[in-house]
Amino acid sequence: MASPPARPDLLRGTSPDRHALLRALPWIAVMAVVGIVALEAIVHVHDGSSEGPPSSLFVAGGLVVSVVSLITVTIAARVTGVGTRAAVALGGAFAVIAIAKFTLGPIGFFRDVASHEIQDPFELGNDGTVWAIALVVGVLYVGVVVLLAAVLRPREAVTPRPSSGVALIAVAVGAMVIGAFVTPAPLAYVTTALSGVGAASLAIVLLVAAALIAASFRDGAEQTRVLGTTSVYLSLAWVAVAFVLVFQVLWVVFLLAVVTLWPLRTVTPK
């Protein structure tokens, strides 16, 4: 059966469907609540007696977040109005990101910091260091998602713009470089991820995640042309950004719990 013709009057829309976003909100909340409870539980079954956090802790955290995100992201994307294939692709992308973010990244980072001290000239401490890493990496993730959404958006949509994604990525990179005078932790975290022991695995996982997000956005853009409204695509993009932010909150909760049992070796220069 031929697809119905697109409606130019609706294709000029530039706003996401607020009702669709409201339908997705409960699933975003489920991801946050279940993720926080599960990650806290995973950390607190350990007593901190080992020399450093065991890799099994991060493997468990990554698997739990991966499973929960596969379910919640898929459903949240589906209620925005996109097809099942686009929704499952986005859910799969976040399931893969969870492995990178809660397993591979932290394992590499803690292996790296175990061998040397972190300079902390402004006495941010463990909590401040975790927050600094989270802010920089979070902006970087959001920038990549926005850039993918902008590049793959249907021709009829005017947002998001590629410049927005590029600007966010530039801000994150600039913050890492300039912020190194405040704390080198964000730069060290990203450098370790890119060049450490598990760098190849992490790169492959993130490339798979990016490909799945791109597949989801492509399907969403195609559905925009079929339905004749850009709101579906924009809603999908906003859901993706929302889950990136939830992941950052979960990562902060997870790492703050970890460094409570296994403090980072921060040193304030005299």
Q: At what angle do helices 125-151 and 199-227 cross, to 10 degrees?
A: 40
Give pLDDT, residue 181.
75
Report CA torsion sign: 132, 134, 137, 142.
Answer: negative
> What is the H or E stretch that residue 20 is in?
helix 18-44
Give pLDDT, residue 1.
42
Contact 8, 219 (CB under 8 A): no
Half-sphere CA count of 143, side-chain side, radius 13 A: 16
Its pTM stands at: 0.88
In a domain, 9, yes or no: no
In a domain, 111, yes or no: yes
Residue that has been written with the tokens 């998001």 in this structure: 160
Give pLDDT, residue 14.
54
Q: How many domains does the chain have?
A: 1
Give pLDDT, residue 13.
47
Give pLDDT, residue 21.
87
Q: Is 95 exposed, middle or buried (0-12, 13-18, 19+ CB in 10 A)?
A: buried
Residues spanned by the domain of 189: 15-267
Q: Cis (ω within 30 of 0) for the bond into 16?
A: no
In a domain, 2, yes or no: no
Contact 224, 157 (CB under 8 A): yes
Half-sphere CA count of 268, side-chain side, radius 13 A: 6
Cα 184 from Cα 208, distance rounded (Å): 29
In a domain, 3, yes or no: no
Each of the 270 residues of the chain gets a pLDDT tens digit; together they read 444 444 444 444 456 778 888 999 999 999 999 999 999 999 999 877 788 899 999 999 999 999 999 999 999 999 988 999 999 999 999 999 999 999 999 998 888 876 677 887 778 889 998 999 999 999 999 999 999 999 999 887 777 888 999 999 999 888 888 877 778 888 888 888 777 667 889 999 999 999 999 999 999 999 887 777 788 889 999 999 999 999 999 999 999 999 999 998 888 776
In a domain, 4, yes or no: no
* Token digits of residue 238: 């906003």
Contact 224, 154 (CB under 8 A): yes
> Beta-carbon neighbour count of residue 214 at 10 Å?
16
In a domain, 7, yes or no: no
Q: Which of 85, 57, 88, 56 is nearest to 72 (CA)?
A: 88
In a domain, 181, yes or no: yes
